[in-house]
Amino acid sequence: MQIISFSPFGYEGAMVTVEVDLRRGIPAVDLVGLADNAVKEARERMRAAIRNSGFEFPSERVLISLSPADVKKEGAGFDLAMALAVLFEKAKIEKKIEKCDSKIKVLVMGELELAGRVRRVRGVHAAVSTAAECGIQYCIVPKENAEEASGVKEINVFVVDSLQNAWKVFAKLPKQVKKINNVENSAKLSNITCLPKKKSNNETDNHVIFSPVKIGTDFSGIVGQPKLVRALQIGAAGRHNIIAYGPPGCGKTLALRRFASLLPQLTLAESQPVTRIYSIAGCLPPKTNLIREAPFRMPHQSASLEGMIGGGRNCRPGEISLAHNGVLFLDEAAEFKTSVLQSLRVPLEEGRIVLSRAGRRTEFPAHFQLLIATNPCPCGNFGCDDKICVCSARSVEQYWRRFSSPLLDRIDIRIAVKANSGEKAVEGKTAISTEMLRKDIGRAVAIQRERQGKPNAWLSASEVAFYCKLDNSCKEWLENTTKEQGFSARAVHSCMKLARTIADMKGSFIITIQDLQEAVFFRKSNGVISML
């Protein structure tokens, strides 16, 4: 048998073969294969765990090789694999283990305590899913990572809580190979749990499901901002980027914080990469096998460039990848570093981010929906009827230059929020609730999943021409209006995608002039943005 472990570098990671050789010499443990300090320290943890678990550590000189040798190995996830490899090699020499097929590969992950207990490690979901893609059929992981590992199909997962139990699984695995698909036979090993092997299916997963509305996130609490609520509803239905700007206290942040309640649950295909990213980052919530709720990330204004796009010594995912298939909300966006804001332009366009560190390259998915909330000027009073703006025209222009025109051009919906806009709250009158907003959103999302398999906002230029067809009168109206507004080609496509979403919310196959008029209203630059 071959013992395989996993090195969580970047999004892909690398499968690592753990080999052991026992030879004559002064008793010691030599470790080769470009291991970092955490892996090197595993030698002592492994030695103590083996002895404290009732096993005899080899008296020979032990050589442990981690291959491929040119891949950096980091973390404590190699402990259990190295310990089992040492015990396996010792048992082979003493002929205490049944001869087995060398083609059988077993993924092993886990950190060892000195007493022999197995602790959870990060990246288990990514490791198990990668192992399944590589044809590995068996894996041994910590009991605390059971839910995380169970989200992967077509692989046999054994969960263990100690080195003793892990060795029981490993030593009896050759006999169990023919019976391993039978969960009852596999589970007869004492104190061992074999998770049921999930079978793949061909589900389309187009059914739209919403999570229960959490307390404090219902839109019935947003009163007096009907245009803002409508903009958020359209944005949720088509996953369009949104910028809301207005004076402090107008309610833009309050409304945008509740945006996540408008999003449906992720499909199986959408949840797999999200779960993998969170597993690699070590952010996967406990007892979670698949992340079904769309991520909602809200980084602080002090976020660094590396924290936003990812990177570091081991190419960890950043906020834009943690927001994959979800939302990235930048509150008080003008306070972010200019370099951080400009780094969003390429991922918004391509839906991915490529990182290169120390001669290695990795690519993280980054299909996210951008929400921006900001003041109209440094003092926040620009455009207010009842307040005086003390900012000069130059300071207002410099304030908005932090976003840059190319970044703003990638935002489909622009909404100016006023402190006293729309209707005021009156006794006995209720605002529209989240459940009411979800009806049109669910209809639009179901249509988009069935028609093109992705949100309207993520359509390419060629797909816009195919899925957002206009009749002659609509084409003529849009052409005249966009010339009048001075829209770019991207802005014209943005209007067509918005109109397509509005039509989908009504369940209409045809895009009407009324749909285009509403799309242009939310796309055109109002007030301060028109200065750029």
3-state secondary structure of 194: strand
> Residue 391: which CATH number?
3.40.50.300
Return d(Cα 455, Cα 406) in angstroms, integer.
22
Q: Are residues 19 and 107 in the same domain?
A: yes
Q: Is residue 457 part of a domain?
A: no
> Residue 164: which CATH number?
3.30.230.10
Q: Is residue 33 part of a domain?
A: yes
| C-beta separation of 271 from 324 below 8 A | no
Q: Are residues 184 and 272 in the same domain?
A: no
Q: Is residue 510 part of a domain?
A: no
Residue 242 binned pLDDT confidence (cut-offs 50, 70, 90)? very high
What ranges in 110-201 are assigned the alpha helix state H?
A: 124-133, 146-150, 163-176, 183-186
Question: Residue 42 is inside which H or E element, if any?
Answer: helix 42-52
Return d(Cα 415, Cα 257) in angstroms, integer.
16
| Cα distances (angstroms) measured from residue 426 to each of 220, 224, 326, 353, 430 | 13, 10, 35, 48, 8
- With 50 as the cut, is the pLDDT of residue 13 above it? yes
pLDDT for 419: 79
Residue 185 binned pLDDT confidence (cut-offs 50, 70, 90)? very low
Please state the rounded mean pLDDT for residues 220-241: 94
Q: Is residue 238 part of a domain?
A: yes
Q: Which tokens hold the place of 527?
A: 């007030």
To the nearest whole number, what is the mean pLDDT of the chain? 88
In eight-state DSSP terms, residue 265 is: P
pLDDT for 349: 92
pLDDT for 525: 66
Q: Which residues fall within 8 angstroms of residue 397, CB to CB, at 6 or more apart?
A: 531, 532
Q: Is residue 321 part of a domain?
A: yes
- With 60 as the cut, is the pLDDT of residue 178 above it? no
In eight-state DSSP terms, residue 334 is: G
3-state secondary structure of 404: coil
pLDDT for 187: 39
| C-beta separation of 225 from 251 below 8 A | yes
Q: Are residues 255 and 349 in the same domain?
A: yes
What ranges in 94-225 are assigned the alpha helix state H?
A: 124-133, 146-150, 163-176, 183-186
Q: Are residues 225 and 181 in the same domain?
A: no
Return d(Cα 338, Cα 342) in angstroms, integer.
6
Return d(Cα 152, Cα 130) in angstroms, integer.
10
Q: Which residues fall within 8 angstroms of residue 344, CB to CB, at 6 or more apart?
A: 308, 320, 328, 370, 407
Q: Is residue 523 part of a domain?
A: no
- Domain end point (choices 391, 417, 435): 435
- With 90 as the cut, is the pLDDT of residue 530 above it? no
Choose the weakest-confidence range: 122-136, 421-435, 506-520: 421-435
Q: Are residues 224 and 370 in the same domain?
A: yes
Q: Which tokens hold the place of 281?
A: 């980052």
Domain coverage including residue 354? 219-435
**Biggest CA pair distance of the chain:** 89
Global pTM value: 0.89
Q: Which tens digit of pLDDT belongs to each residue from 371-412? A: 999 999 999 888 787 888 899 989 988 898 889 889 999 999
Please state the rounded mean pLDDT for residues 44-55: 94
